[in-house]
Amino acid sequence: MIKLHDEIMNNLIEAVKQERQRIEKPKNRSRYFIYGKIRDWHNTKGYYVTFENIPDRALKDAKWSDIQDKSLLFRIGDIFIPGNVKIESRGLSIFFSINDINKLNIDITSLKRMTDIGIDYIMDNRELTEHLLIFLKSKAHIKNEFLEHLTSKTSIISVKNMRNSISNLDLNLSQKNTIEKALSQKITFIWGPPGTGKTKTMGALAASLIKNKKRVLLTGISNMALDQLLLMTLDQLRNDTSKISIARLGSTMDDKCQGFSRNSFKDFFNVKREGASWSEHIKYASLVAGNFTMLTFPYAPDPGLFDYVIVDEVSMANIPSLISTSFFAKIGIVLGGDPFQLPPIYPEDAEEPNEWLRANIFEKAGITQSDDPRSSFLDIQYRMQYEIGNLVSEMFYKDVGGLKTRVDFLEPIRGFGGRVVFIHSPGIVKKVGAGYLNDEEHRRFNEVHAEVAIKATLVGLKNGVKPSEIGIIVPYNAQVVQISQKLQQFNIDSNEIKVSTIHSFQGQERRMIIVDFTDDNIKPTHLTANWKLINVALSRAKEQLIMIGNQDYLMSTEYFNENEISIFKRLLKHTRILYLQN
């Protein structure tokens, strides 16, 4: 047992070491697309450019770099170049010095042309990876009873069952059973397909544990998902925080969570204190919420051990980071996610990470079926109208029991002739920068599909859908730009209508979703036929789902294999097909 424990820890540490070496190359780091050039100019000092469409990650790091007076790294076309940033009212201004430009042997005219497309912000996560490595090394000698059970197929480990102390009148049977299971075993995987109330269930579980006098840690990759889980826990506690000590770690959080932050602790505190200092409060608080980064940050206050650790979004998390959270658990750990949605993400043209960084924890633990005794499957979805929910269930979850729909019926949005529509639109794929940039997939765009997406958007707006209720999902950044520019031509605010690649839509939903497959009569990329990506895209829609593509192309054995064509056949079987009129 000790030998196996040491072997797993050595593998994890070695995996993180390899990852640290891999991301030494900028092309292997996480990228965030910036587009919507407002203006640019140059002088003898260098080149200045301002963009209006900035992802949250880039904005957060821009604030930090401005304070630290440090540059950030960007990719323009095929080159990597440092730039100094400044947040302005209209967007993000970036300055590239003439010295850096000359070192890379490029000219201002080329820079102007390439920034018309947009640029990538390159997140430097080397330091965060180093922190994770230091953390795992410091814990290598500590026996972790969860380690083997999180990384291989094992039997359940029972614990003394606790009474569920939360009224479950608003929970369905599968949600209630999930809580009962988590209260009776050391490790529980909550398999929560889209719209099934995973966050609500995990919040009710956390509240029940707290009512049972257990100390609970909430954690996950993103601050947004973490705050949703914290707020749901408070909701299940009926927002009675006067007798509960709560701490929210970190500086970036929802305004509703600020009352539990360090800043609020210094100024005033409207919940129970634990100790005179923030560090003391964290160590003894009943409920602590912090993302992975805060838990492994070497200079953060030690939060101590918790009876239970509850982790959200585990399907997207790398395994070493997930394992790090288990070192904070004494009795049990609960992991919520969906192995049928997005896995850990890395750039398509990057060198592939090792298996510990690219596999999801469900796969590593050998959980492939919904009836696995270590997991609990949430089987009723509340997001999608029946036709959309049935499509998602039949395509992706039928073999694991399927999903039932429980929503109040709403009429489909007028103008489309049905709830789920596929608009057959033969088009031509082009590539921005063709002739002076390398042939990379994210530079593909399809002008015909972009125009169809705009027409569908206008139909929705005409029939009462608000811009903020519409989402347009595409596979490539160049198509994001193409559609955003066309929205502006119709005086539609592209900041209100979310136009993005699928990875930015995980965990979100819209009343009306338009999914554009973009590719047509060209060798597809993994972004076109990956069933997990398609699952995420379709399941964002609440009331109306519009798909745009060429059905003949999607059925072509020249471009797709048998399994991929099977996916598209099932998709088209459940849709009303409209044919584009010339």
pLDDT tens by residue, 390-431: 999 999 999 999 999 999 999 999 999 999 999 999 999 988
- pTM of the entire structure? 0.93
Neighbours of 226 (CB within 10 A): 27
392 and 370 within one domain: no
For residue 360, the domain's CATH number is 3.40.50.300
Strand, coil or helix: what is 329? strand
315 and 216 within one domain: yes
269 and 171 within one domain: yes
For residue 64, the domain's CATH number is 2.40.30
* pLDDT for res 292: 96
* pLDDT for res 14: 97
Mean pLDDT by 10 residues, the chain (582 residues): 85 97 95 92 96 90 87 93 94 96 91 90 96 96 92 82 69 94 95 96 95 95 94 86 88 91 78 82 95 95 96 95 97 96 82 91 93 95 97 96 95 96 95 57 86 97 96 93 91 85 87 97 89 96 98 96 95 92 58
* Residue 555 within any structural domain of the chain: yes
480 and 418 within one domain: yes
CA distance 546 to 422: 6
* pLDDT for res 342: 86
* Residue 3 within any structural domain of the chain: no
160 and 265 within one domain: yes
* Residue 145 within any structural domain of the chain: yes
Residue 380 C-beta-side C-alpha neighbours within 13 Å? 14
* Residue 128 within any structural domain of the chain: no
Sign of CA dihedral 28, 31, 36, 40: negative
Mean pLDDT of the chain: 91
413 and 529 within one domain: yes
140 and 287 within one domain: yes
CA distance 536 to 86: 34
Counted domains in the chain: 3
152 and 81 within one domain: no
Domain boundary pick from 378, 397, 419: 378
* pLDDT for res 436: 44
Strand, coil or helix: what is 200? helix
* pLDDT for res 67: 80
Domain of residue 316, residue span: 135-378
Domain boundary pick from 378, 402, 432: 378
Which residues in 351-377 are b (16+ Cβ under 10 Å) and which e?
A: eebbebbbbbbbebbebeebebebbbb
Q: Which segments of 2-150 are extended strands (E)?
A: 31-42, 46-53, 72-76, 79-88, 91-97, 119-122
216 and 351 within one domain: yes
168 and 102 within one domain: no
* pLDDT for res 269: 65
402 and 507 within one domain: yes
* AA identity, residue 328: F
* Residue 573 within any structural domain of the chain: yes
365 and 456 within one domain: no
CA distance 303 to 283: 4
